[in-house]
């Protein structure tokens, strides 16, 4: 299920702090693994079905990525809370977007296809409470790509490729490994999970991510 998170609409873009904030393990972040990734990185776990994820994408994620330490890479992964055929196809669509380097345009288009253009303004609910999505199969997803100017002649080949299947498998493994139970969720260096309920401002979130990524061992 997709749980409501305290972040909601409370994040406001404040001037980035010029001092090192004091962050506490157990309050602001949780260690979820013994070893860190070889290089600093931020991973966002999200779902195209999640209103708060849509809100994060439209209002905050651009500022987060723009203000990451230049040593920190960014990646996004789709969770599998639905455990259904269409849920897998929607996950797969993100992997295809990444393989096509389709970027924000198709990510926004997929959010809008499922939630509507105003989906980010809605409230988050348990997944079972969502209305039936507009997308019901792969053909519906391919139409979204076509409507946004992409040649879908190779969609099936990419969607069913080994590289995409491997991505889907990895996302599911890491969803369990990192104990992702609500979204959007941020994992830093494959070692630390941000406790979103403790975050008060966008600048605090960015400071915490950079601290975990490049300063904390």
For residue 92, is it within any domain?
yes
The pTM of this model reads 0.84
Q: What is the pLDDT of residue 118?
A: 66
For residue 176, is it within any domain?
yes
pLDDT means per 10 residues, the chain with 217 residues, are 45 46 89 96 97 96 96 97 95 97 92 82 44 78 96 96 98 96 97 95 95 90
For residue 19, is it within any domain?
no
For residue 199, is it within any domain?
yes
Return phi, psi of residue 34, to 5°.
Answer: -80, -35
Domain count, the chain: 1
202 close to 7: Cβ distance less than 8 angstroms: no
For residue 4, is it within any domain?
no
Residues comprising the chain, all counted:
217
Q: What is the pLDDT of residue 17?
A: 47
Return the CATH number at 95: 3.40.30.10
- Distance of alpha carbon 152 from alpha carbon 144, whole angstroms: 10
Q: What is the pLDDT of residue 103?
A: 82
Q: What is the pLDDT of residue 125?
A: 41
Q: What is the pLDDT of residue 22?
A: 83
Q: What is the pLDDT of residue 123?
A: 45
57 close to 94: Cβ distance less than 8 angstroms: no
Q: What is the pLDDT of residue 149?
A: 94
Domain span holding position 174: 34-118+134-215
User: How big, in percent rounded to 5, are the helix, strand and coil portions of the chain?
Assistant: 45, 10, 45
For residue 128, is it within any domain?
no
Cα separations (Å) of 216 from 31, 40, 44, 55, 132? Answer: 11, 11, 19, 29, 43
For the sheet with 185-188, list strands across it.
29-31, 192-194, 185-188, 41-46, 73-78
Q: What is the pLDDT of residue 132?
A: 43
């Amino acid at each position: 299920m997709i749980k409501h998170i305290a972040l909601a609409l409370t994040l406001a873009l404040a001037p980035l702090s010029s001092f090192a904030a004091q962050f506490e393990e157990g309050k602001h972040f949780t260690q979820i693994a013994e070893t860190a990734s070889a290089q600093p990185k931020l991973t966002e776990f999200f779902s195209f079905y999640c209103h708060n994820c849509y809100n994060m994408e439209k209002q905050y994620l651009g500022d987060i990525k723009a203000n990451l330490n230049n040593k920190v890479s960014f990646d996004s992964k789709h969770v599998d809370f639905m455990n259904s055929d269409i849920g897998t196809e929607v996950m797969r669509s993100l992997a295809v977007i990444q393989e096509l380097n389709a970027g924000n345009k198709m990510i926004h288009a997929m959010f809008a296809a499922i939630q509507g253009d105003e989906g980010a303004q809605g409230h988050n609910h348990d997944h079972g409470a969502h209305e039936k999505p507009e997308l019901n199969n792969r053909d519906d997803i391919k139409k979204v790509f076509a409507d946004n100017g992409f040649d879908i002649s190779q969609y099936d080949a990419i969607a069913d490729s080994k590289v995409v299947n491997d991505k889907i498998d990895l996302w599911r493994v890491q969803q369990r490994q990192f104990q992702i139970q609500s979204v959007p969720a941020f994992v830093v260096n494959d070692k630390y999970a941000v406790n979103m309920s403790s975050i008060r401002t966008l600048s605090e979130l960015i400071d915490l991510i950079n601290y975990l990524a490049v300063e904390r061992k």
